[in-house]
Chains A and B, each alone.
Chain A
Amino acid sequence: MSEAGTFDTVRRGLSLSPELRSGLAGTVGLAVLQMSGRVAVPIAVQQGIDHGINGPSGPDPAVVAVVVALTLAALAISTLCGYLMTRRLFTVSETALGGLRSRTFRHIHDLSMLHQQSERRGSMVSRVTGDVDQISQFLQTGGVQLLLAGGQLIVSTVVMFAYSWQLTVVVLLSFGPAIGVIRFFQKRLAGAYRTVRERTGVMLGAVAESVVGATVIRAFGVSGRTARRLDTAVDDLRTAQQRAMRTSVLSFSSGEISAGLALSGVVVAGVLLGVDGDLTVGRLTAFLFLVTLFIQPVQIATEQLNEAQNAVAGWRRILDVLDVDPDVADPDDEGVELPAGPLSVRFDDVSFRYPGGPMVLSDVDLTLDARRKYAVVGETGSGKTTFAKLLTRLMDPAEGTVLLSGTPLTGVRFSSLRSRVVMVPQDGFLFDATVAENIRFAEPSLTDDQLRTAFTELGLGDWLAGLPAGLETAVGERGESLSVGERQLVALVRAYVADPDLLVLDEATSAVDPATEVRLQYALDLVTRGRTTVAIAHRLSTAESADEVIVVDAGRVVQRGPHARLVAEPDSIYAKLYASWLEQTR
C-alpha cells in the first residue's frame, strides 16, 4: 500500500470525483447561514443584557422580547438552511461515491488477469464496498459535522473579533499549544488506526480459515491450534483498538484543557479591559458564550479528524487500485476488427514470464491452421495454461507477438476479440442465477426457445428436461447445486451460443461422473466442429481425437504432430505421457 500524504490523497480523490465540487459554493453558503443562526444567540444575550436587563430604566422585558423574537426568526431560517444544506451534501456526495464505486468496479474488471490474481478476492470486493462505505459513513456523520464545525469556527471568530479583538487574541493563544499537540497525536493516531485495520484483516483471515477449513480441522483434531490462532488474532486486534483509543483520548484532552485556559483567560482579560471601560457586561457575557461556540467545533474537529483518517485510508486504497494501469488494455477506437471467417493462429517467437519470475514459456514459434483441432498437452507446470492465456489475450507476452489471421492480438478491439475468441475455463464458473441466465451471459438476446434448441443441438435436451425447473433451475452459488461435470456442460453451452471462431478449452482435471462425461464428450465434439479449437488437454481422449497434438515441456514446445505419429516416437515425452494415461485407464 502506498503511503501518499493525506492532503495528496484528498486532492487526487477530489479530482477523480469532480461531482463532489458541484454546487459546493451553494452548500457552503447554506452552511454559513446555518452557523449564523447559532451566533445569533450570544448576540441576543449581549443585546438583551446591555439594552434590556441593564437598560437605563432597569430590566425591560419589551426590549428583550423584541430581541428574542428577532433571534427566533434567525433560528428558524438557520434550521431551514441546515436542512437544505444536509440534503444537498448527501445527494452530491452519495452520487459521487456511487460513481466512484462503479468506476472502480469497472477498472478492476479491466485490469489484466495477472493483477486480478495478485489481489485477494476479498480485498478487491472491499475496494468497491467497505472502502467506499468508509468514505460515505464519514461524510454522513463526520463530514457534515466537520463542515459545520469549520463554518462555526469562522463565524464565531468573526463575531468575537467584532466584540473585542483583544479577547479574541487571548482565545486564539489558548488554543495555540493544542494545535501542536493535536498535530503530534494525529500522526501517531494514523499509525495506530493503520495497525487496527491490518489486525482486522488478520482476524478476518483467521475466522475465514476456521470456517472454510472446518472439516479438515475436525478430521485432524487440531481445533486447539486453530483456537489459539483465533484468540491471538482477536486479542491482537483488541490491543490495537485500545492503543488507538488511548491516543485518541489524549489528543482530545488537549482541546479540553485549552477550553479551560480560554475561558479563564477571557475572564481575566475581560475584567481588566472592562475596568478600563473598553467592554460592557453584555459583551463580556456574550463572549463567554462565543467561546463555547468556538470550543465545540475544535473538539468536534479533533474527533472527526480521526474518523477522517479512516476515510482517507479507504480513499487511498481505492486510488491505489485505480492507479494500476490495465496493462492488457482494450485498444478501443484505435484497434481493428478481426478479419471475417475462420481464424488461424500464429505465435511469433513468444516468451512469457511473470514479473520478476523465471520464464514460463520460451521461444514459442508456431502456426495453427484455421478450422483444425489442436490439443496442448504437458505436465502440470509445463506452461500449457499460459499458452491458452496468451492466445485469448488474458495476458500479453513478454516478448514476441501473437497473431490471429495475421492481425496482432494487441491491436484487436476487445468487442471484436471477445466475440470471436471464447475460452471455457477449467472450473466452468457459473453465476448464482438460473441456467437460462447463465447461458444468456454470452448472448443476452436469446429467447427461451433458442436456448432449448442450443441444448438439443448439443444432445443435452434430455439432461435439461431432467432438471427440476428446466431452464429456470437455479444453479446456486458458483453453480454448486450442479455437479462439476454438469457445470462444465452449462459452460460449454454458453460457449456454443457465443458462436466463436476460435474456441479455447481449458479442460477440467477433476473427475466427472461417467454418465456426464459421456454427455460432455459428445457435446464437446459438436461445439468444436468447424471451429479452430485449442484444448488444454488433461485426457488422452482429447489428445487422440485432435488433428494435431502440441507437447509442451518446461516452457518449450518439444513435439508437434498427429497423435499416431507422436506416440510412435520412442522415449519421447508424449510417448511417456501416453503410456501413463493408458496405465490409468486399462
Chain B
Amino acid sequence: MTSGTGNDVLVRGLRVLGRAIRTEPRLFTISAIGSSFFGFLIIANSYVVGAVIGRVVVPAFSERRVSSGGLALTCAVLLGISGLRVASIWARRLGAGFMQFRLQARYRRAVTRRYLALPPEWHQRHATGTLLSNASSDVEAAFAPIAPLPFAVGTIVMIAGALVALFLTDWVLALVGVALFPALFALNFFYSRRMAPRQIHAQRMRAKVAAVAHESFDGALVVKTMGREADESRRFGVFVTELRDALVAVGRLRGVFDPLMESLPSVGTLAVLLIGTWRLQSGAITVTELISVAFLFTVLAFPVRAIGWVVGELPRSVAGWERVQAVLAAEGDLSYGTGDLPGTGPAELRFDRVDYRYADGPPVLSDVTFTVPAGTTVALVGATGSGKSTIAALAMRLVDPESGSVSLDDVKLPDLSAPALAAATGLVPQIPFVFDDTVRGNVALDRPEIDDDAVRAALRLAQAEGFVSALPDGLDTEVGERGTSLSGGQRQRLTLARALAGRPRLLVLDDATSAVDPRVEAAILGALRESGTSLLVVAYRRASIALADLVVYLHQGRVVATGTHTELMDSQPGYRDLVTAYEKADQ
C-alpha cells in the first residue's frame, strides 16, 4: 500500500493529472476553457446584478418610473449570460466526462494487453482478484480526479479574475477577498490531508468485507452442511462493524468541513456589507459596486469546492495509478522467434538438460533430459511435487527453462513464432478452462482452419459428441461463464476437443481426464493413440500409464529412469512402490 506524507501524495497526484492531460490534451482544453468561461460569466453576472440594482432598480424606485428599454436590456443580458453559461457547462462537463471515460478505456485496454502478453508464471504470482481490480477499480480510481479537474482549473481562473475585478472596484473590499480565498484553500487542503488516511482505512475495510463475503459464499456448501450460518454471520458482522466505524469517522470529518465551507463565503459577504457601508459613507464606492461584490461572494462559494474534490481524490488516484503502472511496467514477456516448424505429422519433443525454478524458490527441475519420439505416447510419472506439471508447461513454452533447451523436431522452442508454436502444440490442462461462449466457439476459438466438421470430429474423438448433441442447441449452446452449465467431466472433454481440433503435432495432457468416468477415459486414450500424434501424458491411473510406449519416472525434479512400464516395474523399486501404492489404494 502506498503511503507517505500528504505533500508527497499531492505531488505524485499532480503528476498523474499531468499525464492524463498530456494524453487527452484536446478534451482537457475544451473543458478547461469551458470552465474558465463559466467562471468569467459568474463574475460578470454579479456585476450585472449590481448594475441592475444600482442603475435600473434604484432610479426606478426613487423616480417611480420605468424605462422599458432598460428593463428589456437587463432581461436580454441576464438571459444571454444564462445561455452562455449553459454552453460553458456543456463544454466543461462533456469534455471532462469524455476525457475521463477515454482515459479509463485506454488504460483498461493497456492493462489487459499486458495480461495477455505476460507469461503464465507472472499470472501465478498475482491473485485473480488483484488483477481484476487493477483493470477495473484501480483504473477508475486513477482517473477519478479528472471529472472535477476542469471545474477546479476554471475555479482558479475565476478566483484570479474575481480578485482583479475586486481590486478594480475597491482595494479595501479586495482585501476581504485576499483574506477569504486563501482561507478557503487552506481549509480544503487541511481537509484533504486529514481525510486521506480515513478514506484509505475505509477502503481497506471495504476490501476486507468483500474478501470475507467472497470466501464465505465460496464455501457456502461447507457452511451449510456444517450448519455454521450463524457463526459465519458473526464473523462477517465483526468486519461490517469495523467498516461502519471507519465510514462514520469519514462522516465526522465531513461534518466539520462541509458547514465551515458553507459559512466562510457568507462571512465574506457580511464583511463586505460592513466594510462596504463604511466605504460608501466615505464615498469610495457606489451602491452598485457594493451589491456586486456582496453577490460575488455568495456565488463563489460553490465552485471553490471543486478544488477540494480534486485534492480529495488524489490519494486514491495515486494508489490506483501506481497499481496500474505496476502491471504496465511488469517484465518477463516471452519473446518469440520467427521460424516455422518444418514438415507435417507428429513431431518429436526433446528436453535437453533442462533446469527450472520459480522466481527465487528452490529448483523445481534439475538436468531433465528425455525425448518423446514422433508419434509415440510418453507418460510422466512421479509423486506430487516431482515437477510433472512444470514439464508440461515447458513443453508448451508457457515458461522458459532456466538453462538447457526444449525443442520440437530439432527446432528450439524460442526460435518458433507464436502462431507456429500454437499450431504445432496442444495442451489440455489439469483444470479445464471454458470460455463464456458457445460449444462451437469453445472448440474452434475462431481459428480459421477449423470448420464445423473439424469441430464435430474433435468432439467425437474426445468422446464429447454424445453430451453435446443432447444439449438444447447442440453446437450453438451457450455454456455460461466458466462453463457452469456443464459437469467437470464434460468440461474436460470439451477442452480436450479444443486441443484436438487444432490437429496438434504434439499433444500434452496434464492429468486431463481425471473427472471423466473410467470407461470414457479408456475410450479417449485409445482414440488418441490411434490418432497418431505425439503424446505427453501426466498420468496417475495405471491404465493410462500402461498405455504409454515409454514412461519417464520423476523424483523431486530429476529424471530417475526412462523405459517401458514393465522395465521400470522391474528395475525401479521407487517406481514400483509409487504405482502399486496407487493400485492398493484403488482396490
Contact = CB atoms under 8 A, between A and B. Distances in A.
B71 A271 contact: yes
A264 B425 contact: no
A217 B216 CA distance: 30
Nearest to B382: A513
A192 B528 CA distance: 52
A210 B542 contact: no
B481 A242 contact: no
Interface string A272-292: 101101011100110011001
Instruction: Classify the interface of chain A: helix, strand, loop or mixed.
Output: helix
B277 A425 contact: no
A342 to B, nearest CB: 19
A98 B246 CA distance: 12
B2 interface: no
Nearest to B244: A98
Nearest to B70: A271
Nearest to A128: B213
B280 A513 contact: no
Contacts of B274: 61, 64-65, 68
Interface string B395-430: 010100000000000000000001101110111010
A83 B214 contact: no
Among B222, B255, B258, B487, max chain A CB count under 10 A is at B222
A564 interface: no
Interface residues of A, number: 173
Among A95, A125, A203, max chain B CB count under 10 A is at A125
A515 B220 CA distance: 30
Among A61, A214, A238, A379, max chain B CB count under 10 A is at A214
A518 B581 contact: yes
A129 B233 CA distance: 14
B136 A444 contact: no
B567 interface: no
A580 B526 CA distance: 13
A73 B564 CA distance: 97
B587 interface: yes
A219 B540 contact: no
Contacts of B273: 44-45, 48, 64, 67-68
Interface in B347-365: none
Interface stretch (B55-63, B163-171, B551-559): B55-63
Among A72, A129, A259, max chain B CB count under 10 A is at A129
Interface string A119-145: 011001100111001001000100010
Contact of B53 (A94, A222, A285): A285
Contact of B123 (A214, A221, A511, A512): A214
B40 to A, nearest CB: 16
A585 interface: yes
Among B231, B244, B291, B542, max chain A CB count under 10 A is at B244
Contact of B56 (A61, A217, A271, A425): A271
Given A129-B209, A225-B445, A417-B227, A264 B75 contact: yes
A559 interface: no
B369 interface: no
Contacts of B94: 245-246, 249
13 contacts: A37-B263, A41-B266, A53-B277, A65-B274, A78-B259, A90-B250, A90-B254, A242-B98, A271-B57, A292-B295, A498-B226, A518-B585, A520-B585
Given A210-B115, A226-B116, A511-B511, 20 more contacts: A60-B281, A61-B277, A68-B274, A106-B233, A110-B229, A204-B132, A210-B112, A220-B445, A220-B447, A225-B445, A249-B89, A252-B93, A260-B82, A267-B74, A277-B64, A281-B53, A414-B227, A429-B219, A513-B540, A577-B519
Q: Which 3 A-B pairs have the closest CB atoms?
A: A260-B82, A418-B227, A221-B422
